[in-house]
Amino acid sequence: MCGICGWLDARDSIAAEPSRERIERMARALNHRGPDDRGHWVDADSRVALGHRRLSIVDLSPTGHQPMISRSGRWIIVFNGEIYNHADLRARLESRRVAFRGRSDTEVLVEAIDHWGIATSVERLVGMFAFAVWDRAERALTLVRDRLGVKPLFHARFGSAFLFGSEIKAIRAHPAFAARVDRGAEGLFLAHGYIPSPHTAYDSVHKLPPGTMLRVTADDRLRVGEPDAYWTMRDVVERGRESPFTGPIERAEEELHDRIRDSVRLHMVSDVPVGAFLSGGVDSSTVVAMMRQVATGPVRTFTIGFQESAVNEGEHARKVADHLGTEHVEFTVRPEDALDLIPSLVDQYDEPFGDSSAIPTCLVSRLTREHVKVCLSGDGGDELFAGYDRYARIESTYRQFRSWPAWMRSAIEAVVPRLPGRFMSARWYRRALTLCDLLRAGSPQEMYVLLHTHWRRPQRVMKDGRLPATIFHQPSQWPETENAIESMMFIDAITYLPDDVLTKVDRASMAVGLEARVPLLDHRLVEFAWRLPFAWKRQGEETKIALRRVLARYVPRPMFERGKAGFGIPLSQWLRGPLRDWAESLLDPRALESEGLLDAAAVRRKWREHCDGTSDWSHLIWDLLMWKAWRLGAEQGAVPS
């Protein structure tokens, strides 16, 4: 795991010395991602520069130093991530008499590109990765991001310069950076609690979408192509329908077991100590159970607990750890721990990020890094095996509403918006308006988008706000599925998973030099999961059916047959208690009025209702607080306003 950065400039010439200073400045912004080594490569004649910060995991020797040049001298690469099948690829290349200097996966990749080309090499990779490779022969820079979006990669164009980096802060460090805050992206953030790809908080900076590559040249002028998809979740879903698994569930269970075990085995390959995050839920417990099967030594597990019992998973994790015989470490989070961490979240995530579980994720990453350098997580299980409770809840709600007579639905939609406010309290009036929105939903998928939105109409709280079109409101881009829940799973897999869940884990772990790996997101396992009948994933309230059968081989069902708790903090309580003063300072009405960005009355109304217990607006309030904290950084010069 590392940090990469660089640029390509179309100007006639660039001076070598200032170029080295600039690429070093960009790389320094990524020190936390790679504290073990640093390097840069500059070609002043070609006007290209590549920078790298290294977190040494495989091949700790200097032969793993980057940027790395192929033996032919044609290709120069900077790479972030891990290629889990690099040993197999190495053997194939050695059979073609390719000689290697070291044992790193980066060297395997650059030599693979030299022999097979970029596209063929990428198709053969199993892993998480984001890399940039310069082709001296064609004078072209190519960026590539892994299939599921585990590793981040950002790019931007300013005048004659094309910039890229593992995090936006590396791009900001270049003197050509001239982006402004994107008001549309702010609207997307308030709607979702994160900014969906390819948008970022800046108007000229973009996320490279998962499963794509981008080619850039700069001979006579800068030419930036469109992201070219080499793997899409839509194709996976459609192929799963065309070629479904046809055997009995017992055989599916056996194959799923073997695929997970093989993925965990590959994800444990490392020259440094490896551990695992453990919540005691199905996903993380399955990963840890497989680690115990393939490990040659003790398995270390780590979890976070809370003083508030309603959100404390520490006890569940402890029971699973005891049963599996792991070396278990637990850390209890207090409100003051969150307060101490919050100021660093804005810089850590580079743009507004509203998932409050970033706090325990950051804290458990710190704890884990004191013991190991690599940690496996169970992320991805909910999206693959229909684990989220909201799926069935939304489908049930839609069926219930559709059972109402058409005249009743039409009457409610027509009458409620016209009712004078005196006929009901503000709280019940807003609920009635929400009911009208849901009644208009033409499908469970449309209802899902409505209910899975934080600020349902962010334009109403933002002054001069707008909401760009995204995949959420473009059902023509969704694949045909067996049922509505599979459509929801698809949407989550291409939005919430990469832009929230995986972003959260990447920034939290890399902030402390910890490599987080996600064995359930091996793309071959993902493709297999989409071939399984939906009935083997979910039936009514029973979720992850096939995955639970696998786990039950190693852990008694009573230990994991419980409701889904998630990994959040007791946000609602904390905002009314220990975090209240901090929140009040950010939501000061005079400041809101003077800034002119938000409707101060609407914000204060939500805050007041939350504080007095009338409503639980904790997620909406938290989004505003994270947005405000990020804008505060803009005012103080951390980001351009």
Residues taking part in catalysis: 2
Q: Tell how far CA 421 is from the center of its chain.
A: 42
Q: Are 218 and 13 in contact (CB under 8 A)?
A: no
The residues near 388 (Cβ < 8 Å, ≥ 6 apart) are: 382, 488, 492, 564
Q: What is the dihedral of CA 156, 511, 33, 177, to 10 degrees?
A: 20
Query: What value does the CA radius of gyration of the chain take, rounded to a whole number of Å?
Result: 25
- List the one residue out of 498, 314, 283, 476 whose CA is nearest residue 386: 283
Q: Work out the number of other CB atoms within 10 angstroms of the CB of residue 420.
A: 7
Strand 75-83 to strand 127-135: parallel, antiparallel, or no bridges (unpaired)? antiparallel
**Closest alpha carbon to 67 in 53, 83, 56, 57:** 53
Supply 137's token pair. Answer: 């022969």
* 358/343 Cα distance (integer angstroms): 13
Per-residue buried b or exposed e for 170-180, using 16+ beta carbons within 10 Å of the residue's own CB: bbbbbebbebe
Buried-state track 327-354, b at ≥16 Cβ within 10 A, e below 16: ebbbbebebebbeebbeebbebbbbbbb
CA 635 to CA 631: how far, in whole Å? 6
What's 555's DSSP letter? S
What distance in Å separates the CA atoms of residue 32 and residue 319, rounded to the nearest whole number? 34
**567-588 exposure pattern, b = at least 16 Cβ within 10 A, e = fewer:** bbbbbbebbbeebeebbeebbe
Burial of residue 286, with CB atoms counted within 10 A of its CB: 0-12 exposed, 13-18 middle, 19 or more buried = buried
